[in-house]
Chains A and B, each alone.
Chain A
Amino acid sequence: MSRNPNDADEHPQLVSDPDAPRSDESTAARPLHVQPVLLLAVAVGALPGTALRWWVESALPTSAGGVLWATAGVNLVGAFVLGVLLEALARRGADAGGRRLVRLCAGTGFCGALTTYSTLALEVVRTAGEGVVAVAVGYGLASVVLGVVAAAAGVWVAARRAGGGRS
């Protein structure tokens, strides 16, 4: 199958996001955290992230053990997804245009809001306060160590899917 050689000349803008040149001009001048569109992208991603965390924490039994599992669950899933996402995006090119929007919406917004460090810390304090210090320490340490393992597994999966080693 032969391609029309004119295609590339006629539609040079289609290669990348047509909005990219404009947004790149503004991103070059201003830091990301003061750009309204990017703030909105984070907020939009955080809505389903928070809702999902709320739903998981409500769905599991309210016994102390159930709460711990709910937090550990959303945290480990979120760490894995963030690893996949950031590695996949980094392999596709520079952080700009549509890729940057996806990173901020799905990564900073969704994964950031789905996961929570404050609830984890409070649960460790409360569990220790109930006298089961070994459970509290084990839960805290297992969470953070498995979090790193989950994020690393996500990076590994994305790297494997992309094929080849890191450049």
Chain B
Amino acid sequence: MTLVLVVLGGAVGAVTRFVVDGAWRSRRPGRFPWPTVVINVTGSFLLGMLTGLAVLRGGSPLVLQTVLGTGFCGGYTTFSSASFESVRLLEQGRWRAALGNTVGSLVVTVAAAAAGLGAVHLIG
């Protein structure tokens, strides 16, 4: 049963990513893949919060936390698109943009996940 809910959470996450990405690109077209960066940062913050809540409770995470964390956040954020977009930037000869997209994304998503964890501890 948990598997079914996690998988459905993943589908909802992926569709949310598609909508956020499309809405962003239709309003602010540009060559740098900002939508993927924003999606990965917000998803990492949310997963940090969910994990922080599970840690506060002690014991194993609730089914809802697994569905939202592994399911939704996993389906919402994407490593493959981020990697592919860096390749496209490299193909265009935009080395600094590719480096920023690759290493910069890692730094800000890690900071977002840490902030999510920390936010829960501040509130709790």
A binds B: yes
How far does the Cβ of B85 sit from chain A's closest Cβ, in whole Å?
9
Contacts of B73 in A (CB 8 A): 116, 118-119
Cross-chain contact A118 with B14 (CB below 8 angstroms) = no
Give the secondary structure class of A's interface: helix
Mark out the residues of chain B between 47 and 84 whose CB falls within 8 Å of any chain A CB in the assembled complex.
47-48, 51, 69-71, 73-84
Give the secondary structure class of B's interface: helix
Q: Which one, B46, B48, B83, contacts A125 given CB within 8 A? A: B48
Bin the interface of chain B by size. Answer: 35 or more
Q: Which one, B7, B19, B79, contacts A75 given CB within 8 A? A: B79
Q: Which one, B6, B8, B81, B110, contacts A121 given CB within 8 A? A: B110
Contacts of B48 in A (CB 8 A): 121-122, 125
Contacts of A96 in B (CB 8 A): none
Task: Give how many A residues have a beta carbon under 8 Å from the other chain's beta carbons.
Answer: 54
Contacts of A117 in B (CB 8 A): 40, 43-44, 77-79, 82, 105, 109
Given contacts A108-B14, A113-B10, contact A147 B83 (CB under 8 A): yes
Contacts of A157 in B (CB 8 A): none
Q: Using a CB–CB distance below 8 Å, which chain A residues touch chain B?
A: 31-34, 38-39, 42-47, 49-51, 53-54, 57, 75, 78-79, 81-83, 86, 104, 107-109, 111-122, 124-125, 140-141, 143-145, 147-148, 150-152, 155
